[in-house]
Chain A
Amino acid sequence: MANLIKTKRGLNIPINGRPIEIIGTSTLPKEFALIPDNYHGITPKLLVKEGDEVKAGSPVFYEKQFPGMNFVSPVSGTIKSIIRGERRKIISIIIESDEKMTYQQFEKTDLSKSTPDEIITILQQSGLWAYIKQRPYDVIANPTKTPKAIFISSFDTAPLAPNNDFVMSGQMADFQTGIDVLAKIATVQLGVRYGKKSPFSTVKNAVITEYDGPHPVGNVGIQINHVSPVNKGEVVWTVNPQDVLFFGRLFNKGIVDLSRLIALTGPNVKSPQYYQTIVGANIESLLKGNRITGNMSHRFISGNVLTGIQVKGNGWIDPYATQITVLEDGNDIHELMGWGMPRFRKFSMSRTFFTFIFETKLMRRLFGNMKYKWDTRLMGGRRAIIMSGEYDKVLPMDIYPEFLFKAMITNDLDKMEALGAYEIAPEDVALCEFVCTSKLPLQQIVRNALDYMKKELE
C-alpha cells in the first residue's frame, strides 16, 4: 500500500484549452535546434562545425566542466548553421534533418551486470544526462555526486498539462527499463496521482507515494519536500517521466530516440491535442496543423503558462517541455480603470473580483466552467512586497517563502541556506509569482539566487 500525502495549499488555474486525448497528424519539420541556454548553467564546447554530418545521438557539444557529458543531435542530418551572439556565445545550433533518422548505435548493456558508474558514463555519452536534474540549484546533475534519491513525479498538475497516463500508453516497458536504470544508482521515488487508476501504480523497482491536492502537488519539488527534504550537503536527482522513456529506449534498443508526445494547448488553439514530435523541433509545423484563433497578437510558450519559455511562432521545443501553449499577448489591450471595474472575466485568487462566485460549486453546476480571458499582461505595476501571506497559500512546503525571497533579493547566503533555498526551484514558486499583488518576478529572483549560491558555495 502506497503512502498517501495530501496537500491543501495551491491553486488550479481555470484556463481553457486542455488537450483532448487524440494524436494529431503532423509532419516532422526540416529543422531542429540545440540551444545551450535551455540547459541552464552549462558552458558548451562545440564538437561539430557547419556542414558536418550527424546521426541521431551524435554529440554536438559537451559541458566544459565534465568533458564526458555530451549533448547530442536529436535527428540525423547536417549542421546547417551555428548562430553566435555577443562574445561568440553560442546561441543555437541548427540541424537540417535528412528525414532518414539514422541512429548512432550504442552498445546494448546488460543492466544486471553494470555498475552505477558504468550507467552514469553511458548516460553522459549518449546525451541523456541532460535530462537528469538535481536539487539543490535545479541544474543538470553533477555526475560526481551520489544522490540520496531520484524523484520522479508521474503526473503534471500545471495548467493544461498533458496527461502522462495517456502519453505513456504502450510505452510502459521502456518506462520500466528507465526506472530500472535509475534504480541502479539510487532509490527511485515515484509520485503518483491519488485516486486514479494509473499505469504508474504498478511500476516496480521504485518507492511509490500517492499525492492528492491542487497544483503544485505534481511538482517534484513539493514531493521531495514532503518525503525527503534536501538538507545541506545532500543531493537529490529529478527526472521528468517522459524523459525516463529515453533511458528505457537507450537500454532496450541501444539508440537515442528523443521523440515524444507534445500537447498543443491554450485558449487560442482551435483544437488542443497531442502531436508526435522530437525534442528540438521547430514548432511551426505543429502550429500549421492547427488553427490559432483570435486576431490579436499571440504568445507562443514552450512549456506551460507558469514556467514555460516564450518562443517565436517559428521557435523551438525546448528539451524539457512537454507542451506548447498559445495565448493572447495583450499588449494592445487598454482596460479602463481596472481598479474599480467589476471585470467579470478576469480571474483572481483574492475575492476582490467575482471569481469567487463563479468558482463555487453551485455556479459551476448551473453555468458550467467560466471562460476567463487570459493574456500575458502583468495586470498592474511592480511594487515592493505589501500583502502578507499570499505566497504561503500556494506553496505547500514547510518554508516561509516571503522571508526566503527577501534573503534571495539581498543575496544573504546564510539566510537562504537556513530558510530552505536548497529545497526550492523556480518552478515551485511559479504560483507565488502568479498571485503576487506586487507583480514581483519571483522565478527570476529564485533562479538568480540559486546561481549565486552555486557560484559561492561550490
Chain B
Amino acid sequence: MRNKLRKYVDKLKPHFMKGGKLEKLHSVFDGFETFLFVPNTTSKNGTHIHDAIDSKRTMIMVVVALIPALLFGMFNVGYQHYLAIGEAAGFWDTFLFGALAVLPIVVVSYLVGLGIEFVVAQIKGHEIQEGFLVSGMLIPLIVPVDTPLWMIAVATAFSVIFAKEVFGGTGMNIFNVALVARAFLFFAYPTYMSGDTVWVRTGTTFGLGGGTPVDSYSGATVLGEVATSTTQNAQLTDIIGNPIGFWDGFLGLIPGSIGETSTLAILLGAALILFTGIASWKVMLSVFTGGALMALVFNNFGPDTAIAHFPWYNHLVYGGFAFGAVFMATDPVTAARTDKGKWIYGFLIGALAIIIRVLNPGYPEGMMLAILFMNIFAPLIDYYVVDANIKKRLKRATTQK
C-alpha cells in the first residue's frame, strides 16, 4: 500500500516540478506529498540527527485537542435548538442537527484559508505552512452558529491575508489569526455577533428541525443576562428560563459561540496540549489566575453592578474565558516567548478580560479584546525580560575590569 502510493506520487512528481505542465501547482503538490510522506531531505551540515517532532505533528496535536470542543459544540447546537423550540429529540438527532449546522462553517473556513495559503506559498515559492490547520479549526469554534457562511469566508480571507501573510506567514504574525477573524466579524457585522438572537439556531438546518421557540425563550448568553441584569445578584437561567449555576457553565449546555461553551471539553483538549508540551502551562495557569484574582477584586470592591458581583468561579466557566485561555492565549507565536514574560502575559490577559467584562457597558465579553491587546504587548514584555539579561551582562563586563 505504502509502496504503491509512493510509486504513484513519484509518477506524478515530474509534472509539478519546474518545467512540468502543472508547475503552477508545485506548492499544492509539495503540500500533499509532505502530508503523505515525511520529507526525506537529510541534513548536510550541522547536527546529523534530529528530533522527530516537526511543525505538522505539532499543529495536528492542537487540532486533535480541539476535537472534544468541536464535538461538544455540535451536540450543543442541536441541544439548544430543540430546547428552544420545546421539542424532545434523541441524542443522534440532536447531534446530527448540530453537526450539519457546524460542518459548513468548518469547511468554508478551511477552504478559504488553505486556498489562500496555497496561493501565497506558490507565489513566494516556499512550502505550505501548517499554521492554518489550527486557525481553520479555531475560527468555526469562536463564532455564533448563525453567522452567515459568506461572512466566515470574508473574515477568514481578511485575517489570513492581513493578519498573517503580509507579516510573512506562520511564525511571523503579531496577532492571533483566528481572533483577528473574530474581531473582524465583531466590528464589521456587530448585529450578527452579539445580542440575543444569534447564539441559538431556531430555524432549520438542511430541512432538519425547525419550529417556533417556546414562550419563555430568550436567546441571550449568560454573560448577556448578567450584563443587562438590574439587580446586583443576577439570577442565571438557560434559554427557556430554568435556573442554572456553575456546573451548567462547566458542562456547557448553554448558548454561546460553537466551541466555547463547555469548559469540560476545553479542559480535555488542554490536558492533551499541556501534556505534550505544545501549549505553555505557564500562560494557561496565569490566565486563569489573573482572571480569578481580578474577578475576586471586583466581587469585593467592585461597582454596584451584577457583572461586578458575578462570582469569580463563574467568570472562568462562562463566556469565552476558558477557550481563550487554553487555545488562544497559548498560541506560541503571538504570546510572550520568555518564561518570565509568559507569566506576565497570561496574568494580564486574565485580568484584562475581567476588567473589560465588568467595566465596559457595551459588550459582555472581554476575552477576545484582552488577548488581542496583549498580543501587541507580548514583544514589549519580552523586551524588558531580555533587557534585564543584557544589563546583567553589561554590568558583569564593566565591574570585572
Chain B residues positioned under 8 Å from A24 (CB to CB): none
What's the dominant secondary structure at chain B's contact region? Answer: loop
B40 is an interface residue with CB less than 8 A from chain A: yes
Q: Write the B212-255 contact mask toward A (1 if CB under 8 angstroms, else 0).
A: 00000000000000000000000000000000000000000000
**B56 in contact with A380 (CB, 8 Å):** yes
* Segment from B57-65, B135-143, B176-184 that makes contact with A: B57-65
* B38, A377: Cβ atoms closer than 8 Å: yes
> Which of B38, B335, B396, B397 neighbours the largest number of chain A CB atoms within 10 Å of its CB?
B38
Q: Give every chain B residue within 8 A of A392 (Cβ-Cβ).
A: 339
Docked-complex contact B35 and A337, CB < 8 angstroms: yes
Q: Are B54 and A339 in contact (CB under 8 A)?
A: yes
Known contacts A377-B39, A386-B170; decide if A347 and B52 are in contact (CB<8 Å). yes
Which of chain B's residues have a CB closer than 8 A to the CB of A339? 35, 54, 56-57, 59-60
A377 touches B42 (CB 8 A): yes
Q: Which residues of A contact B59 (CB under 8 A)?
A: 339
Chain A residues within 8 Å of B389, by CB: 398-400, 419-420
Say yes or no for B122: interface residue by CB 8 A criterion: no
Q: Within A17-45, which residues are at the interface with B (CB < 8 Å)?
A: none
A301 partner residues in chain B, CB cutoff 8 A: 48
The 8 A CB mask of A285-304 against B (1 = contact, 0 = none) is: 00000000000000101000
Asked if A171 CB lies within 8 Å of chain B CBs, one says no
Q: Which residues of A contact B47 (CB under 8 A)?
A: 305-307, 430, 433-434, 443
Q: List residues of chain A with CB within 8 A of the CB of B342.
A: 388-389
Q: Which residues of A contact B56 (CB under 8 A)?
A: 338-339, 380-381
Among A280-339, those with CB < 8 Å from B are 299, 301, 305-310, 325, 327, 329-339
B386 touches A435 (CB 8 A): no
A388 touches B332 (CB 8 A): yes
Per the bound structure, the CA–CA distance linking A377 and B170 in Å amounts to 23
Q: Out of B40, B57, B337, name the residue touching A388 (CB < 8 Å).
A: B337
Query: CB of A348 within 8 A of chain B?
Result: yes
Q: Which residues of B contact A433 (CB under 8 A)?
A: 46-47, 50
* A377 CA / B39 CA spacing, docked (Å): 8
Pairwise interchain contact A434-B51, C-beta atoms closer than 8 A: yes
Indicate whether A15 sits within 8 Å of B46 (C-beta atoms), given known contacts A339-B57, A386-B170. Answer: no
Q: Which of B17-25, B275-283, B285-293 is the contact stretch? A: B275-283
Answer yes or no: A385 CB below 8 A from chain B CBs.
Answer: yes
Which residues of chain B are near A102, meaning CB under 8 Å?
A: none
B45 is an interface residue with CB less than 8 A from chain A: yes
**CB closest chain-B residue, reference A297:** B42
Contact yes or no, A437 B46, CB < 8 A:
no
* A185: Cβ under 8 A from any B Cβ: no
Interface centre among B35, B51, B59 (most CB of A within 10 A): B51
Q: Are A387 and B42 in contact (CB under 8 A)?
A: no
Is the CB–CB distance between A376 and B48 below 8 Å? yes
Cβ–Cβ contact B393 & A378, under 8 A: no
Q: Is B36 an interface residue, CB under 8 A from the partner?
A: yes
In the complex, the answer to whether A437 meets B40 with C-beta atoms within 8 Å is: no
- Interfacial residues of chain B within 375-401, with CB under 8 A of chain A in the complex: 382, 386, 389-390, 392-394, 396-397, 400-401
> Is B37 interfacial (CB-CB < 8 Å)?
yes
**Complex Cα distance A281/B249, Å?**
72
Question: Within 8 Å of chain B (Cβ to Cβ): is A364?
Answer: no
Q: Report how far A382 CA is from B44 CA in the complex, Å.
A: 14
Chain A residues 341 to 357 lying within 8 A of chain B, measured CB to CB, are 343, 346-353
B172 at the interface (CB under 8 A from A): yes
Tell me, in angstroms, the Cα distance from A160 to B335 when the chains sit together.
38
Question: In the complex, A344→B301 CA distance in Å?
Answer: 55
**B45 touches which one: A378, A434, A444 (CB < 8 A)?**
A444
Q: Given A437-B54, A441-B46: A232 and B397 within 8 A (CB)?
A: yes
Closest to A385 in B: B171
Q: Does A53 contact B (CB under 8 A)?
A: no
Complex Cα gap A442–B389 (Å): 21
CA distance A352 to B38 in the complex (A): 16
B55 touches A386 (CB 8 A): yes
- Contact of A437 with B386 at beta-carbon distance under 8 Å, contacts A15-B49, A351-B276 already known: no
Given known pairs A332-B40, A377-B40, A434-B50, the reply for A387 and B332 (CB within 8 Å) is yes
Partner of B48, one of A232, A308, A340, A400: A308
C-alpha spacing A378/B50, complex, angstroms: 6
For A348, give its contact among B38, B53, B392 (CB under 8 Å).
Answer: B53
Distance to closest chain A CB from B120 (angstroms): 14
Q: Output the least CB separation between B231 and chain A (Å).
A: 45
**How long is the Cα–Cα vector from A300 to B401 in the complex, in angstroms?**
46
**Other-chain contact of A386, B332, B393, B397 (Cβ < 8 Å):** B332
Q: A333-B40, A350-B277, A388-B280 are in contact. Are A379 and B60 (CB under 8 A)?
A: no
Say if the beta carbon of B73 comes within 8 Å of chain A: no
Which residues of A approach B to under 8 Å, CB–CB?
13, 15, 229, 231-233, 299, 301, 305-310, 325, 327, 329-340, 343, 346-353, 374-389, 392, 398-400, 402-403, 418-420, 430, 433-439, 441-444
Point out residues on B near A: beta carbons under 8 Å.
2, 5-6, 34-61, 127, 129, 131, 168-172, 275-278, 280, 332-333, 335-339, 342, 382, 386, 389-390, 392-394, 396-397, 400-401
A-B contact pairs, 8 of them (CB 8 A): A306-B47, A336-B2, A339-B54, A351-B275, A379-B54, A383-B127, A387-B278, A430-B47
Q: Which 10 A-B pairs have the closest CB atoms?
A: A380-B54, A384-B171, A338-B38, A231-B397, A346-B52, A339-B56, A388-B337, A335-B38, A376-B42, A443-B46
